[in-house]
Homo-oligomer: A and B are copies of this chain.
Protein backbone atom coordinates (compact mmCIF):
# COMPACT_ATOMS: atom_id res chain seq x y z
CA UNK A 1 0.00 0.00 0.00
CA UNK A 2 2.93 2.38 -0.31
CA UNK A 3 1.18 4.58 -2.81
CA UNK A 4 3.24 7.39 -1.32
CA UNK A 5 6.42 6.04 -2.88
CA UNK A 6 4.66 5.85 -6.23
CA UNK A 7 4.52 9.62 -6.24
CA UNK A 8 8.26 9.70 -5.94
CA UNK A 9 8.59 7.18 -8.74
CA UNK A 10 6.33 9.37 -10.83
CA UNK A 11 8.53 12.38 -10.19
CA UNK A 12 11.62 10.49 -11.30
CA UNK A 13 9.88 8.80 -14.22
CA UNK A 14 9.11 12.17 -15.71
CA UNK A 15 12.87 12.71 -16.01
CA UNK A 16 14.39 9.32 -16.74
CA UNK A 17 13.51 5.68 -17.17
CA UNK A 18 13.63 3.86 -13.87
CA UNK A 19 14.05 0.11 -13.88
CA UNK A 20 11.87 -2.37 -12.04
CA UNK A 21 14.75 -3.08 -9.73
CA UNK A 22 15.13 0.59 -8.88
CA UNK A 23 11.41 0.83 -8.27
CA UNK A 24 11.68 -2.10 -5.88
CA UNK A 25 14.46 -0.40 -3.97
CA UNK A 26 12.31 2.67 -3.55
CA UNK A 27 9.27 0.66 -2.59
CA UNK A 28 11.16 -1.19 0.11
CA UNK A 29 12.33 2.03 1.75
CA UNK A 30 11.26 2.38 5.38
CA UNK A 31 8.89 5.27 5.71
CA UNK A 32 7.07 7.22 8.34
CA UNK A 33 4.04 9.22 7.32
CA UNK A 34 3.11 12.35 9.23
CA UNK A 35 0.16 14.69 8.93
CA UNK A 36 0.82 18.39 9.42
CA UNK A 37 -1.67 21.16 10.01
CA UNK A 38 -1.55 24.36 8.02
CA UNK A 39 1.16 26.57 9.43
CA UNK A 40 3.10 23.75 11.09
CA UNK A 41 6.86 23.57 10.83
CA UNK A 42 7.81 20.34 9.07
CA UNK A 43 11.56 20.77 9.34
CA UNK A 44 13.17 23.36 11.60
CA UNK A 45 15.90 25.78 10.64
CA UNK A 46 19.12 24.82 12.37
CA UNK A 47 18.07 21.23 12.95
CA UNK A 48 20.13 18.25 11.86
CA UNK A 49 17.59 15.82 10.43
CA UNK A 50 18.31 12.10 10.21
CA UNK A 51 15.37 11.76 7.84
CA UNK A 52 14.45 13.49 4.63
CA UNK A 53 10.87 13.90 3.56
CA UNK A 54 8.88 14.15 0.41
CA UNK A 55 5.40 15.60 0.17
CA UNK A 56 2.54 13.21 -0.33
CA UNK A 57 -0.19 15.83 -0.37
CA UNK A 58 -0.60 19.51 0.31
CA UNK A 59 1.57 22.57 -0.13
CA UNK A 60 4.82 23.40 1.60
CA UNK A 61 7.49 26.07 1.31
CA UNK A 62 11.02 26.73 2.44
CA UNK A 63 11.10 29.72 4.75
CA UNK A 64 13.87 32.04 5.86
CA UNK A 65 13.22 34.56 8.59
CA UNK A 66 14.75 38.02 8.68
CA UNK A 67 15.53 40.01 11.82
CA UNK A 68 12.72 42.47 11.30
CA UNK A 69 10.13 39.71 11.34
CA UNK A 70 9.96 39.65 7.56
CA UNK A 71 10.14 36.25 5.98
CA UNK A 72 11.02 35.07 2.54
CA UNK A 73 9.63 31.87 1.12
CA UNK A 74 12.44 30.75 -1.14
CA UNK A 75 10.68 27.79 -2.71
CA UNK A 76 7.30 26.22 -3.10
CA UNK A 77 6.76 22.47 -3.00
CA UNK A 78 3.94 20.22 -4.07
CA UNK A 79 3.12 16.53 -3.85
CA UNK A 80 5.97 14.36 -5.04
CA UNK A 81 8.72 16.85 -4.21
CA UNK A 82 11.56 15.56 -2.09
CA UNK A 83 11.70 18.68 0.01
CA UNK A 84 14.75 18.37 2.20
CA UNK A 85 16.71 15.69 0.47
CA UNK A 86 19.73 17.99 0.46
CA UNK A 87 19.96 17.55 4.23
CA UNK A 88 21.37 14.10 3.48
CA UNK A 89 24.66 15.71 2.46
CA UNK A 90 24.30 19.16 4.04
CA UNK A 91 23.58 17.90 7.55
CA UNK A 92 22.28 21.11 9.06
CA UNK A 93 19.19 22.93 7.81
CA UNK A 94 19.81 26.53 6.84
CA UNK A 95 16.10 27.21 6.52
CA UNK A 96 12.82 25.70 7.68
CA UNK A 97 10.10 23.90 5.78
CA UNK A 98 6.56 24.92 6.62
CA UNK A 99 3.12 23.59 5.71
CA UNK A 100 1.08 26.09 3.70
CA UNK A 101 -1.93 23.81 3.85
CA UNK A 102 -2.77 20.69 5.72
CA UNK A 103 -0.34 18.22 4.30
CA UNK A 104 1.11 14.76 4.53
CA UNK A 105 4.86 14.23 4.49
CA UNK A 106 6.66 10.92 4.17
CA UNK A 107 9.96 10.61 6.02
CA UNK A 108 12.76 8.33 4.83
CA UNK A 109 15.76 7.62 7.09
CA UNK A 110 19.06 8.98 5.86
CA UNK A 111 20.55 5.61 6.62
CA UNK A 112 18.42 4.08 3.88
CA UNK A 113 19.10 6.88 1.45
CA UNK A 114 22.81 6.54 2.07
CA UNK A 115 22.46 2.85 1.33
CA UNK A 116 21.08 3.79 -2.07
CA UNK A 117 24.15 5.89 -2.75
CA UNK A 118 26.27 2.85 -1.90
CA UNK A 119 24.39 0.38 -4.03
CA UNK A 120 22.40 2.05 -6.76
CA UNK A 121 24.45 4.60 -8.71
CA UNK A 122 21.83 5.47 -11.28
CA UNK A 123 19.16 5.94 -8.66
CA UNK A 124 21.62 8.07 -6.74
CA UNK A 125 22.07 10.29 -9.75
CA UNK A 126 18.31 10.65 -9.99
CA UNK A 127 18.05 11.71 -6.37
CA UNK A 128 20.93 14.08 -6.96
CA UNK A 129 19.02 15.37 -9.96
CA UNK A 130 16.01 16.07 -7.81
CA UNK A 131 18.07 18.44 -5.66
CA UNK A 132 19.59 20.12 -8.70
CA UNK A 133 16.16 20.70 -10.20
CA UNK A 134 15.21 22.43 -6.98
CA UNK A 135 18.36 24.49 -7.40
CA UNK A 136 17.40 25.37 -10.97
CA UNK A 137 14.00 26.53 -9.76
CA UNK A 138 15.73 28.53 -7.08
CA UNK A 139 17.96 30.21 -9.66
CA UNK A 140 14.93 31.14 -11.66
CA UNK A 141 13.39 32.59 -8.52
CA UNK A 142 16.45 34.73 -7.90
CA UNK A 143 16.38 36.08 -11.44
CA UNK A 144 12.64 36.72 -11.19
CA UNK A 145 12.83 38.69 -7.98
CA UNK A 146 15.95 40.52 -9.08
CA UNK A 147 15.00 41.57 -12.57
CA UNK A 148 11.29 41.18 -13.24
CA UNK A 149 8.21 43.21 -12.50
CA UNK A 150 5.75 41.98 -9.89
CA UNK A 151 3.24 41.04 -12.58
CA UNK A 152 5.85 39.00 -14.43
CA UNK A 153 6.92 37.28 -11.24
CA UNK A 154 3.39 36.30 -10.44
CA UNK A 155 2.57 35.19 -13.96
CA UNK A 156 5.78 33.19 -14.09
CA UNK A 157 4.99 31.54 -10.80
CA UNK A 158 1.58 30.52 -12.05
CA UNK A 159 3.04 29.04 -15.21
CA UNK A 160 5.52 27.05 -13.20
CA UNK A 161 2.94 25.81 -10.75
CA UNK A 162 0.68 24.85 -13.61
CA UNK A 163 3.28 22.60 -15.21
CA UNK A 164 4.41 21.09 -11.95
CA UNK A 165 0.86 20.26 -11.02
CA UNK A 166 0.12 18.93 -14.47
CA UNK A 167 2.99 16.48 -14.04
CA UNK A 168 1.25 14.99 -11.02
CA UNK A 169 -2.23 15.08 -12.52
CA UNK A 170 -3.59 17.95 -10.47
CA UNK A 171 -4.84 20.00 -13.39
CA UNK A 172 -8.48 19.46 -14.28
CA UNK A 173 -9.92 21.39 -17.13
CA UNK A 174 -7.03 23.89 -17.19
CA UNK A 175 -7.79 24.59 -13.56
CA UNK A 176 -5.99 23.92 -10.31
CA UNK A 177 -6.44 24.62 -6.65
CA UNK A 178 -4.00 27.16 -5.28
CA UNK A 179 -4.67 27.59 -1.57
CA UNK A 180 -2.04 30.20 -0.69
CA UNK A 181 -3.06 33.41 0.97
CA UNK A 182 -1.93 36.67 -0.60
CA UNK A 183 0.35 37.19 2.34
CA UNK A 184 2.12 33.92 1.52
CA UNK A 185 2.34 34.82 -2.14
CA UNK A 186 3.86 38.14 -1.09
CA UNK A 187 6.54 36.35 0.92
CA UNK A 188 7.22 34.11 -2.04
CA UNK A 189 7.57 36.93 -4.57
CA UNK A 190 9.43 39.34 -2.33
CA UNK A 191 6.59 41.88 -2.33
CA UNK A 192 4.44 43.57 0.26
CA UNK A 193 0.98 42.21 0.91
CA UNK A 194 -0.73 45.27 -0.50
CA UNK A 195 1.28 45.33 -3.66
CA UNK A 196 0.70 41.63 -4.14
CA UNK A 197 -3.02 42.23 -3.92
CA UNK A 198 -2.82 44.91 -6.61
CA UNK A 199 -0.63 42.76 -8.79
CA UNK A 200 -3.14 39.94 -8.60
CA UNK A 201 -5.93 42.37 -9.42
CA UNK A 202 -4.02 43.60 -12.47
CA UNK A 203 -3.22 40.10 -13.64
CA UNK A 204 -6.86 39.13 -13.29
CA UNK A 205 -7.84 42.11 -15.40
CA UNK A 206 -5.76 40.83 -18.31
CA UNK A 207 -7.84 37.67 -18.53
CA UNK A 208 -4.71 35.63 -19.11
CA UNK A 209 -5.73 34.03 -15.87
CA UNK A 210 -8.97 33.42 -14.02
CA UNK A 211 -8.57 33.38 -10.27
CA UNK A 212 -11.56 32.90 -8.04
CA UNK A 213 -11.01 32.12 -4.40
CA UNK A 214 -8.42 29.38 -4.46
CA UNK A 215 -9.22 28.10 -7.92
CA UNK A 216 -6.99 29.23 -10.74
CA UNK A 217 -7.69 28.67 -14.43
CA UNK A 218 -5.23 29.39 -17.20
CA UNK A 219 -7.34 29.40 -20.36
CA UNK A 220 -4.46 30.00 -22.74
CA UNK A 221 -1.18 28.85 -21.30
CA UNK A 222 0.87 30.08 -24.25
CA UNK A 223 -0.40 33.63 -23.82
CA UNK A 224 0.40 33.74 -20.12
CA UNK A 225 3.78 32.15 -20.72
CA UNK A 226 4.60 34.74 -23.31
CA UNK A 227 3.70 37.55 -20.97
CA UNK A 228 5.75 36.01 -18.17
CA UNK A 229 8.73 35.18 -20.36
CA UNK A 230 8.28 31.61 -19.20
CA UNK A 231 10.37 28.81 -20.66
CA UNK A 232 9.80 25.42 -19.05
CA UNK A 233 13.29 24.14 -19.73
CA UNK A 234 14.53 24.58 -16.20
CA UNK A 235 11.89 22.22 -14.80
CA UNK A 236 13.57 19.34 -16.61
CA UNK A 237 10.27 17.69 -17.41
CA UNK A 238 11.83 15.52 -20.05
CA UNK A 239 12.93 11.91 -20.01
CA UNK A 240 16.68 11.73 -20.52
CA UNK A 241 19.40 9.27 -19.73
CA UNK A 242 20.97 10.75 -16.61
Q: Which residues of A contact B (CB under 8 A)?
A: 46, 62, 64, 66-67, 70-72, 74-75, 86, 88-92, 94-95, 114, 117-118, 121, 124-126, 128-129, 131-136, 138-143, 145-148, 189-190, 229, 233-234, 236, 240, 242
Asked if residues A139 and B71 are in contact (CB atoms below 8 Å), the reply is no
A199 to chain B, nearest CB (A): 15
Closest 8 pairs (CB-CB, A-B)? A146-B190, A135-B135, A89-B129, A94-B234, A72-B143, A86-B132, A64-B143, A72-B147
The answer to whether A74 touches B128 (Cβ under 8 A) is no
Minimal Cβ-Cβ distance residue in B for A242:
B89
Distance in angstroms between the alpha carbons of A74 and B135 in the assembled complex: 11
| A interface: dominant SS | helix
16 sampled A-B residue pairs with Cβ under 8 A: A46-B233, A64-B147, A66-B229, A72-B147, A86-B136, A89-B125, A89-B129, A92-B233, A94-B233, A95-B139, A117-B125, A128-B128, A128-B131, A131-B131, A135-B135, A141-B142
B129 near A90 with CB under 8 A, answer yes
How many Å lie between the Cα of A131 and that of B136 in the bound state? 11
Specify which chain B residues have a CB less than 8 angstroms from the CB of A66 in the assembled complex: 143, 147-148, 229
The reply to whether B89 and A128 contact each other, CB–CB distance below 8 Å, is yes
CB distance from A65 to the nearest CB of B (A): 9
Q: Which residue of B lies closest to A66 (CB)?
A: B147
Complex: A133 Cα to B90 Cα, angstroms: 7
Q: What's the least CB distance linking A50 to chain B, in Å?
A: 12
Residues in B whose Cβ lies below 8 Å from that of A90: 129, 132-133, 136, 236
